[in-house]
């Protein structure tokens, strides 16, 4: 009999203290999954790419680039003229790992409550069926604490459909359009 009473007391204390029957607060949904739909078209890919900067979303940014998991051509970045000499990080091949590291470091320096501003103009594309060449002029403004950095140039991206039937960036060429700092300068500067 004392064992039964002890068991009842133990169970009532245990059940009463751990809130088993209390309703817990619902988890917030993953907002980024709604904002970044699968890149089923080149336009969705470019939109996701730009939104990843504004939202400072490292995972969404990484998904924009082709992963060489199937042994096909891997993503590669070709910096603007002069960048290899200015930034030693470009002496080695620049791939997805470098993109993610740059992006993580860059967004960590963006002023709180601010977002990166990217303006794309004079864009054009040539469609090859399962790939596409996208060219555009760009202007990027990064608001840091107490200052802003701007980068201007022209880019050429080769986009292709991967094994999941989503569009990804396979290669990215950066071009200097004057004396302005380019996306390559931005990558070199924020890489470390």
The answer to whether residue 2 sits within a structural domain is no
pLDDT at 67: 81
Residue 107's domain spans which residues? 36-190
- 117-122 long-range contacts, CB within 8 A, separation 24+: 117/54, 117/141, 117/143, 118/50, 118/53, 118/54, 120/46, 120/50
> Measuring CA to CA, which residue among 115, 162, 119 is closest to residue 142?
115
The answer, as to whether pTM is greater than 0.85, is no
pLDDT at 164: 85
Asked whether the beta carbons of 132 and 125 are under 8 A apart, the reply is yes
Measure the CA–CA gap between 137 and 77, rounded to whole angstroms: 17
Q: What is the pLDDT of residue 7?
A: 47
Residue at 14 is within a domain: no
Number of domains in the chain: 1
Alpha-carbon gap, residue 121 to 98, rounded angstroms: 26
Low-confidence ranges of the chain (pLDDT < 50): 6-7, 10-32
Residues 62, 99: contact at Cβ < 8 Å? yes
In the sheet where 167-175 sits, what is the strand order? 76-78, 167-175, 147-161, 131-144, 117-127
Any residues with CB less than 8 A from the CB of 93 and at least 6 apart, and which? 76
**Could you tell me if residue 121 is inside a domain?**
yes
- Asked if residue 24 belongs to a domain, the reply is no
- DSSP assignment of 7-56: HHHHHHHHHHHTTTTSPPPPPPP-HHHHHS----SHHHHHHHHHHHHHHT
pLDDT of residue 184: 98
- Whether 93 maps to a domain, the answer reads yes
The distance in angstroms from the start CA to the end CA of the chain is 70
Nearest-angstrom CA–CA distance, 62 and 168: 10
User: Is residue 17 in some structural domain?
Assistant: no
Residue 161 located in a structural domain = yes
Inside any domain, residue 127 = yes
Residue 42, by phi and psi: left (phi above 0), alpha (psi -120 to 50) or beta? alpha
CATH of residue 69's domain is 3.10.450.50
């Amino acid at each position: 009999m004392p064992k039964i009473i002890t068991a009842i007391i133990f169970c009532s204390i245990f059940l009463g203290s751990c809130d088993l029957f209390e309703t817990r607060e619902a988890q917030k949904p993953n907002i980024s999954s709604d904002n970044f739909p699968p890149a089923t078209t080149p336009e969705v890919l470019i939109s996701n790419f730009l939104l990843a900067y504004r939202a400072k979303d490292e995972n969404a940014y990484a998904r924009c680039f082709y992963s060489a998991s199937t042994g096909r051509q891997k993503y590669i970045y070709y910096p603007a003229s002069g960048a290899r000499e200015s930034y030693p990080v470009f002496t080695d091949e620049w791939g997805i790992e470098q993109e993610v590291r740059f992006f993580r470091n860059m967004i960590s320096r963006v002023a709180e409550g601010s977002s990166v501003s990217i303006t794309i103009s004079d864009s054009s594309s040539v469609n090859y069926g399962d790939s596409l060449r996208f060219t555009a002029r760009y202007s990027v403004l990064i608001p840091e604490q107490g200052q802003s950095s701007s980068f201007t140039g022209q880019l050429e991206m080769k986009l292709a459909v991967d094994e999941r039937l989503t569009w990804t960036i396979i290669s990215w060429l950066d071009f200097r359009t004057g004396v302005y700092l380019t996306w390559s300068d931005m990558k070199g500067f924020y890489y470390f």
